[in-house]
Amino acid sequence: MDFDKVLSSVFSIYIKKFMPLFISSFLGLLLVQMVMYQLGFFELYQVENPEDMMLVFSKLMSKISVLSISYVLIYGVLNAFLVNYIFISDNNSSVNLGDILVDTLKKYTVHMIFFIILSILIVLVGMLVGVFAFVVGMLLAVIYLGAVLIPGGAILVAEEKNAIDTVARTFSLAHKDLWINLGIFVIFILIMILMSIVVNALISIPFVIMFFDNLKETGSIFEAFNFHSYDLGIWLVVINSIVAAVVYPIYPILSVVMYSRLKYNEDQKEINQDQ
């Protein structure tokens, strides 16, 4: 499976299963955004003075641990659910999302949470090592570890491994075709960035209209740019969740497709060796 086939497979799954993936991602990511909103992190959007921003941020420091735990728990459930849904729905078109969620919570969620924690720790260590080689080294470390670890979610579900075994397996499997994996990972990161830009641009159209309305009313471009005048409140949570939900499903789909590709290549090599 070359890059063009990976690209075709990822977007074929994305389009075919868009609504369940989008709605599931939206609900999970909305919960993440609501946690941020309730903890007060959205106050940072309202601060214009850098000194005031540091003051607000210092008050939020005690809540970062709560936010981090919430992130890991929610993303653990969401990622395990999406990967499990992709695998199950591939073989059975009439799937029940409730049954998949229960199955996910019972079998994979705890292992996925620990896998995410291990992945974060591995990437942080890689970044610290990369710092010694300056920014370029840190960037290369992140790209390398991202390409290696991305099939991990699919491995955890498909092979029913725990977090530690999943990390060992993903390093072993990914290194069998590392350069192609790196290329695929970088291209898809760029695609996801582009998708985010496009979706943000579409969603920002009403704000552009509001900006020009403000400009007409105030007659000052500085007042028109004043974020306080838009009073988005909870809508900012919803908007951020929509943007993230459009892009996020690419990650679990890519995890499944890359794992399928690597597993197929591994099986083919074993067959050729046995002949």
Residue whose pair of structure tokens reads 């993903």 in the numeric block: 170
Lowest mean pLDDT among 2-11, 41-50, 191-200, 238-247: 41-50
Region of residue 219 (phi > 0: left; psi between -120 and 50: alpha; otherwise: beta): left
266: containing domain: 3-274
**pTM (two decimals):** 0.78
What kind and span of H or E run contains 45?
A: none
Reported as a pLDDT band with limits 50, 70 and 90, residue 182 is confident
Residue 229 above 50 pLDDT? Answer: no
Give CA separation, 141 vs 134, 138, 163, 181, 255, in Å: 11, 5, 21, 14, 19
- Greater confidence, 55 or 246? 246
Contacts of 83 (CB under 8 A, 6+ apart): 108, 153, 154, 156, 157, 252, 255, 256
Reported as a pLDDT band with limits 50, 70 and 90, residue 140 is confident
Residue 179, Cβ density class (10 Å: 0-12 exposed, 13-18 middle, ≥19 buried): exposed
pLDDT value of position 104: 93
The number of folded domains in the chain is 1
- The per-residue pLDDT for range 160-180, each reduced to its tens digit, is 899 999 999 999 998 888 888
- The per-residue pLDDT for range 146-159, each reduced to its tens digit, is 889 999 999 999 99
The packing angle between helices 235-247 and 18-39, to 10°, is 140
Q: HSE (CB half, 13 Å, CA atoms) of 209?
A: 5
Reported as a pLDDT band with limits 50, 70 and 90, residue 226 is low
Reported as a pLDDT band with limits 50, 70 and 90, residue 214 is low
- Greater confidence, 190 or 270? 190
Residue 23 above 70 pLDDT? Answer: yes
Distance between CA 236 and CA 136 in Å, rounded? 34
Residue 241 above 50 pLDDT? Answer: yes
